[in-house]
Amino acid sequence: MIPDWETNCVYFSWLLARRYPALCGRARRVIEDHGVPVRFLKRTADVWIRDYAPVQVAKTRFVKFRYAPDYLRGYEHLVTNDVICGQLQGLGKINSSDLVVDGGNVVAARTKVILTGKLFRENPKWKRAEVRKHFQETFHNRTCIIIPTEPLDPIGHSDGLVRFLDDNRVVVNDYSKVDPRYGRRLERALAKHGLQINKLPYRPDKRSRRRIPPATGNYVNFLRVGNLVVVPAHGLPGDDEAVQVLRRLLPAATVVSLDCKEIAREGGCWNCVSWTVKV
């Protein structure tokens, strides 16, 4: 797998620039100021590029899972189809998989991959053993770690729960004041694989009448490309704490805070709207 700290290019959906021009402009300036090129993917149906873009398993090899999330049933006009792959031919070979998996549910290090158990629910025709075998083959025998889905979360992505800092360390949401029982389940699933667990502040805003809950208060969903870490800023007390924690844990990285309130209200943060690759 290609972990995000080995990537060197960032893609956004063209719709991010169109719908959130100020937000997209800020992100582009920060990223390019640190020497990282920014590209835009056309013919996308929404801004959440992480979910429908291929997953990079090697420098010139990608896997395109089926993008058919259950939370978009009845909203099929928001589903980006595989036509986007034609814009990515210069990156390498893209293989197709029949499994329904969102890219936001694939959090990778070099030797390990983390997904939530929602992948079983979205592939009911597959036996669990078959799903695991498929992932082992797809990810070239990397360790696949299945973590519990956050309760009441219709999205079910791992990138809002946990991120690798390196091959042996992860950072997770601090559930101690939100859902300590779930926090313990999450940490047990990760500790079984010998991962060192660190915590970021987590104060989610559950006040929403929308189908998709807001991502306000989530800091795990940061954008990381090479040595640059762009941390979501929500205008909350946890903003500064999240930056300080990541600077302590990643002393060689450049950690910056960047406002993402507009997209957080829609259900995602910086990792959700970006696709990072090694080119």
Residue 233 has pLDDT above 90, yes or no: yes
Residue type, 75: Y
pLDDT at res. 209: 46
Q: Which two tokens stand for residue 59?
A: 């420098």
Q: Which of 14-23, 46-55, 70-79, 267-276 has the lowest mean pLDDT?
A: 70-79
Residue 54 has pLDDT above 70, yes or no: yes
The model's confidence at residue 206, banded by pLDDT at 50, 70 and 90, is low
d(CA 220, CA 8): 20
CATH architecture of 4-277: 5-stranded Propeller (3.75)
The model's confidence at residue 207, banded by pLDDT at 50, 70 and 90, is low
Q: 203 vs 107, which has greater pLDDT?
A: 107
Cβ-contact 56, 278 below 8 angstroms: yes
Q: What is the pTM of this model?
A: 0.94
d(CA 145, CA 107): 10
Q: How many DSSP H helices and E strands does the chain contain? A: 8, 15
Cα distances (angstroms) measured from residue 86 to each of 23, 26, 39, 175: 27, 28, 15, 41
Convert the pLDDT of each residue in 90-110 to its tens digit.
999 999 999 999 999 999 999
Query: Can you tell me the mean pLDDT for 165-183?
Result: 96
Kindly report the CA angle at 187 between 2 and 268, in degrees rounded to 5? 60
The model's confidence at residue 15, banded by pLDDT at 50, 70 and 90, is very high
